[in-house]
Structure 1
């Protein structure tokens, strides 16, 4: 039986072309994520590290890989190539893709509670009021840091919902992969060229 594949699209630094040619694959290093975010990297790395650990439970992570590669599921929602970048048009085995909700990812990135639904969001807001907390943004950094360890755990537990996709559209669903294998690359799009 032939394995089902899915088209994915990812913009990467054009230096990855050398990695692909030399190694037959592209992998993401933690340092690349840190460089991408610059001065604000320390704020986001805990979220990225959490995502990497959780995603590895869904699709086995190669030992040498330190971070996933973000991909779009549609050429219409893919970041277009700009100078010093290329877009890889990929055909990836379906069992190698970690799907997640990019809208929900903002909750993880901001290190706040990710509610199940509107009712849960309202209940959590009431809960914060009951414990005397004005907002849920300051449990990891800020005035409540270290004061509510049970809230930190509750927030972290809620983040797993990032993998629950309630609304499957090209605008909120992303498909991450651990590596780009040379045989998965169907086309390389350079600045000025069309992705689709």
Structure 2
């Protein structure tokens, strides 16, 4: 079985779900707490992502939203107060890779071109229709005016899974869950992510070590 290393920062309370259930998932309430007043916007975008992602890896019924992870120690979020960073070794077939740069297009309701020629063709179409900004086509003053163009933009979002440049900055990975057996190390504030983990430690041993150093009970 081929595995990959991933890294993700989560609220410190996530450790109890893993301890009690053997896994954790991302729930809508977590997104709302994390995103605050912008929650509705991001939940809408996440639902778009989920529709696309499930074509590649079916979502378990008990998972509400995907879990964002980094493929690199260099670019992963570091632990801050009230958080933990999980270092994971995950079966590759459980991972959904995507292009984080292209995801920004989805967040902004933009068309993702296949190449430069396609981008120029799309721009020419917008100019012909007198559209000064495609931001307004799906969620703005042009909403409902250009249904075929909106369909074209939404269909292009599947391009996020076509990774043109595989590097630590562009590529991100999503999981539907984190299983306790995937956890190789748990980082708390001040820990050095580049220290090597002990491959012989079980989750329960990692959890007990964490209890001695944090507010985890």
Per the normalisation by structure 1, the TM-score is 0.96
Deviation at 1:43, TM superposition (A): 2.2
For 1:35-54, list aligned pairs within 5 A.
Answer: 35-54=33-52
Q: Does residue 184 of structure 2 align to residue 194 of structure 1?
A: no
For 1:26, which of 24, 27, 33 is the aligned residue? Answer: 24
Deviation at 1:38, TM superposition (A): 1.5
Deviation at 1:34, TM superposition (A): 2.7
Deviation at 1:36, TM superposition (A): 2.0
Structure 2 distance, partners of 1:42, 1:62, is: 23
Gap runs ≥5 in structure 2: 195-217
Structure 2 distance, partners of 1:85, 1:163, is: 29
Secondary structure of 1:139's aligned partner = helix
Deviation at 1:47, TM superposition (A): 1.6
Deviation at 1:92, TM superposition (A): 0.2
Deviations 1:99-155 (A, max 9, x none): 000000000111111111222111111100111111110112221011111111111
Structure 1 distance, partners of 2:33, 2:119, is: 34
For 1:8, which of 6, 9, 12 is the aligned residue? Answer: 6
Number of aligned residue pairs: 194
Structure 1 distance, partners of 2:32, 2:115, is: 32
Structure 1 distance, partners of 2:192, 2:141, is: 48
Gap runs ≥5 in structure 1: none
Per the normalisation by structure 2, the TM-score is 0.87
Equivalent residue, structure 2, for 1:82: 80
Largest Rg, 1 or 2: 2
For 1:116, which of 114, 117, 124 is the aligned residue? Answer: 114
Structure number with higher relative contact order (C-alpha < 8 Å, ≥ 6 residues apart): 1
